[in-house]
């Protein structure tokens, strides 16, 4: 498992905010352990003192794919404007998919930050990271130490879950 923590100061209207970008990459062995033991719901990190959002880069990728698919359907519907009886329906498909493609383009340019209450292993595998937003550099340092501790515990738990314990017989 590789945890990358980057600090970034984001200017604001009245005062800056401090973002801690966390990227987590699991090895294939760790992913297999998580899936085999059903650990996707295991809570890794619960934020305190800041807001936590999912990785915006992954959100942008999803909207880019959705927007491209909608634009393709919209473009292809222009070729099916044939008989007069179906023109209204095809025109509605064109307009609807064009509007959806434009909305996806807007979300790609300005992704919506989805706030989360806790970070689970399933979320980390899907989104590959998250962002913690805090108010001061001191809070950022505290959040970084909290993250390092949480992920050190996670690594220990994954190592403990790697193998099933052997069977034992007890006589009383």
Residues 1 and 26: beta-carbon distance below 8 Å: yes
Residue with tokens 């193998």: 163
Tell me the C-alpha distance between 8 and 138, whole Å.
13
User: Worst-scoring range by mean pLDDT, 3-17, 130-144, 151-165?
Assistant: 151-165
Tell me the C-alpha distance between 70 and 63, whole Å.
10
Average pLDDT over residues 148-162: 86
The pLDDT tens digits for 71-110 are 888 888 777 666 555 677 777 888 888 888 888 888 888 7
Residues 30 and 155: beta-carbon distance below 8 Å: no
Beta strands in 73-112 (DSSP E): none
Q: What are the DSSP calls for 5-53, one per residue? A: EEEEEE--SSS-EEEEEEEEE--HHHHHHHHHHT-TT-EEE---SSEEE
């Amino acid at each position: 498992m590789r945890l990358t923590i980057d600090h970034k100061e984001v200017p604001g209207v009245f005062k800056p905010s401090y973002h801690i970008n966390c990227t987590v990459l699991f090895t294939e062995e760790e992913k297999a352990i998580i899936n085999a033991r059903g650990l996707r719901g295991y809570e890794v990190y619960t934020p305190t003192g800041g807001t936590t959002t999912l990785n915006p880069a992954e959100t942008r990728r999803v909207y880019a794919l959705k927007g491209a698919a909608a634009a393709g359907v919209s473009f292809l519907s222009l070729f099916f404007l044939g008989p007069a009886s179906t023109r209204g329906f095809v025109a509605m498909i064109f307009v609807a998919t064009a509007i959806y493609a434009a909305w996806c383009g807007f979300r790609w340019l300005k992704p919506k930050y989805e706030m989360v209450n806790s970070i689970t292993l399933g979320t980390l595998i899907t989104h590959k990271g998250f962002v913690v937003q805090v108010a001061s550099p001191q809070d950022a340092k505290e959040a970084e130490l909290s993250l390092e501790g949480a992920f050190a515990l996670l690594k220990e738990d994954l190592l403990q879950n790697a193998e099933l314990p052997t069977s034992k017989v007890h006589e009383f």
